[in-house]
Structures are given as C-alpha cells and as structure tokens.
Amino acid sequence: MCYNAVGIIEDTIQSVINQTYPELEYIIIDGGSTDGTVDIIKRYSSKLTYWVSEPDKGIYDAMNKGIKAASGVYINFMNAGDRFYDNEVLKKFASQADENCKIIFGDWVIKLDNLFEYRKPLSIKYLDTKLMFTHQAVFVSLSYHKMNLFDTRYKLAADYNLVYNAVKRDNAKLQYLPFPIAIYDVSPGNTTNDNGCKLLREKFSIWGIENNYLKKSYWYGMFFRTWLSKKIRDRLPAGMVLKIKNYLDKKRDHIS
C-alpha cells in the first residue's frame, strides 16, 4: 500500500522482488499518487502480479483491494518505506509455517532515522488492549482474510479488530516464528500521525464498552498519560527516543 511515496517506495519494492522464495505473488495498491510513485511502480511492473493506482477510502480499503486480488496461501502487508529484514525471509517463512494457523508472526526491527532496535512480539495477554506485534511482521491465512476483510468502519484499529476477533471470537490458532520478518520505519514522515483518542474510541467499540462510562473513564486517563509521554518524546533526539522505547519494551512480557 502506498500513496505519494516516491522517495521511499523503491527500497520496499526491491526488498520484495529480491526474495529468494520463488512462489511470490506481489501486489501493489496505490492510492492514486501524483508525485512520480506510479512511474517507479511501472518500472517494476514485469515483477508484479498485479498493481493498480486509484483513489481509495483509506488504508484498510486499499488493503481489502489487495486481499481480493490475491490468490496465495498467506498474505503480508508491507507499507511503502518498510521492507523485509533480508532476502531469505519468505523462504524461511515457507519452510516453517504451519498451514493450520490463521495468523503467523515473527520479530521485527524498528528504524528511527538511521538508528535500529530489535523487537519481539508481546505476550498474547496484551491482546486485550493492543496488538502484540506490528503488521509488517504478520502473515494471515488468505482464505481466512477473504472471509474476514478489514472492517472499514475502523479507520485506525481495523488490523487490531481482525486479530482480536480471530483470537477471541474464532479461537484461531497462532504461530510464532522466532526470527525477524521486517524493518518497520517509524521515522517522521514515514508513519501516519494517528489520532490516539480516535483509536481509543474505536477500541471501545471493538471491546463492546462504548456505553460503559466507568471503563471508558479509566482508559481516557491511561490515554492522557500516553499522550503526554508522546509529546515529550517528540521533542527528544532519535537516540534518546529509542532508549526510552527499549526501556519500556523490556518491562513488558514477551512471547516465548
């Protein structure tokens, strides 16, 4: 998925087409870019299974287009600016994936400016409040995803809603692969400036507590603390931000 990503999309494309796994289906959904992104996509069109450039109704609408166009066994979503960790990722995934699992995920590396930090998924217990992993490091069974498209009512939490329902409602089997899948670029300009309050309201709907004012008040309090911390971090240099993120990550329980 991409939109006006002329400066970053080529690295992402090359990280996909250079995978050593031969049975790769590569689909690009562009939101109607006008900055030269489409020219880069056309340059690699012979390596693509399918691509389209047209307006969409948001990132999850674009992802749903990709799901509908796909025909493989598992699907992974890589945004412009992100890339696979190395050229062997899909080969290793294919050799270790349990096809009875609806969701398979691994480790990832976050990139902030020119600094990198390794990350492992959180314990499954965190799913009650957040995703345990980043979506660039996740593969979802395509047959399951075709039956469960992203709910576009949620503009920020549709990926969380998908995983939450897969586990809580459908008792889906998960698999953890202990190696890095992706490099996720969180540098300014490469990520969406999410509205945290709107994200929280979407989670209230997912959790079924939109009318429970007591529970909502607790989460609004937690949100204010998180919002204040983010405002402080936004003023710090990248190295300090990663040290803080690393400290907080070490305090959490991770999948084993």
Confidence of residue 181 (pLDDT cuts 50, 70, 90): very high
State pLDDT tens for residues 193-211.
457 789 999 999 999 999 9
pLDDT of residue 187: 75
Q: What is the pLDDT of residues 56-83, one digit of tens each?
A: 999 999 999 999 999 999 999 999 999 9
In whole angstroms, what is the distance from residue 58 CA to residue 159 CA? Answer: 13
User: How much of the chain, in percent, has pLDDT values that exceed 70?
Assistant: 94
% helix / strand / coil in the chain, to the nearest 5?
Answer: 45, 20, 40
Any alpha helices (H) in the chain, and if so which ranges? Answer: 9-17, 37-43, 59-69, 89-96, 142-147, 158-168, 196-207, 213-233, 238-250
Parallel, antiparallel or unpaired: strands 138-141 and 74-75: antiparallel
Q: How far is it, in rounded angstroms, from Cα 12 to Cα 153?
A: 28
Residue ranges of E strands in 74-164: 74-75, 83-84, 103-112, 115-119, 138-141
* For residue 213, pLDDT beyond 90: no
CATH of 9-250, one of 3.65.10.10, 3.90.550.10, 1.10.260.40, 3.20.20.140: 3.90.550.10
Q: Which two tokens stand for residue 3?
A: 């939109």
What is the mean predicted confidence (pLDDT) over 17-22?
A: 96
The string over 76-85, giving b where at least 16 C-beta atoms fall within 10 Å of a residue's C-beta and e elsewhere, is bbbbbbbbbb
Q: Looking at the predicted structure, is the pLDDT value of residue 90 above 90?
A: yes
User: Pick the residue with more confidence: 213 or 166?
Assistant: 166
Q: 149 — alpha (psi -120 to 50), left (phi > 0) or beta?
A: beta
Domain boundaries, the chain: 9-250
The confidence score (pLDDT) of residue 227 equals 66
Q: What is the DSSP letter of 194?
A: -
Specify the higher pLDDT residue, 111 or 176: 176
pLDDT at 225: 67
**Residue 236: its pLDDT value, please?**
77
The pLDDT tens digits of the residues spanning 95-131 come to: 999 999 999 999 999 998 888 999 999 999 999 999 9
Angstrom CA distances, 121 to 93, 154, 176, 233, stand at 16, 23, 9, 22
Q: For residue 134, which of 85, 204, 92, 184 has the smallest C-alpha distance? A: 184
Confidence of residue 148 (pLDDT cuts 50, 70, 90): very high
